[in-house]
Amino acid sequence: MNGHLKELEERIDYQFKNQNLFSQALTHSSYANEHRLDHNRCNERLEFLGDAVLEIVTSDFLYHKYESLPEGDLTKIRASIVCEPTLAYCAGDIRLGDYLLLGKGEDATGGRCRNSVVSDAMEALIGAIYLDGGFANAKEFIHHFILNDIEHKQLFYDSKTILQEMVQSRQAEALSYEILKEEGPDHNKSFEVCAKIGDTEIGRGMGRTKKAAEQVAAYNGILKLRALDTLADAE
């Protein structure tokens, strides 16, 4: 087996019996097209399956974790977990982008860091584990790598909204975001952004888009404000 793939198996603590499924989960359509492979050799069908498995496992988890929440609130929380940015965040934890098979053009334009690409691959990996090892193994993977630390992931997903509400509740100066740095060609840019209350910086973030960088900056801003609140309460 490819040592590169063995490394990922160790990272996710799951060993595939069918290595073809594993490889397919990591094969982007751009790679399949470039190498004239049958389109069914890319990860899109596995992504379709993994999406369904992820939704049922997440729904079951939330149903039992939040016994008093109404359907509308459960739906909102589930949406924040299975959405593209959160799945991409989870994929980053296992460095999934490093292992993807991409076409040269997709790779050159930052595909390994693109939320849509890595979040789709995360769902494809779930689908592959489900076919290879059954529902229990897929469920274990989802619980370990997606439903872990759920409060922080919700916080990350809603960071800009939550930070805005925190600033308003403090009756502080206006919240704003400032681009500190913009690097790279148009097809592969990197942004550094800071979140500010008035003229005071409270958090920084980097991302492939301004929106992504703002989300990280907002998340770091929330953590800083919470830390300041904790210090104030201790005094």
- Positions annotated as catalytic residues are 51, 123
Q: Closest by alpha carbon to 42, among 111, 121, 106? A: 121
Tokens representing 71 are 């359907």
Cβ neighbourhood burial of 216 (10 Å; 0-12, 13-18, 19+): buried
Contact 76, 82 (CB under 8 A): no
Residue 46, helix vs strand vs coil? helix
Handedness of CA 92, 58, 125, 102 (dihedral sign): negative
Contact 156, 89 (CB under 8 A): yes
Residue 153, helix vs strand vs coil? helix
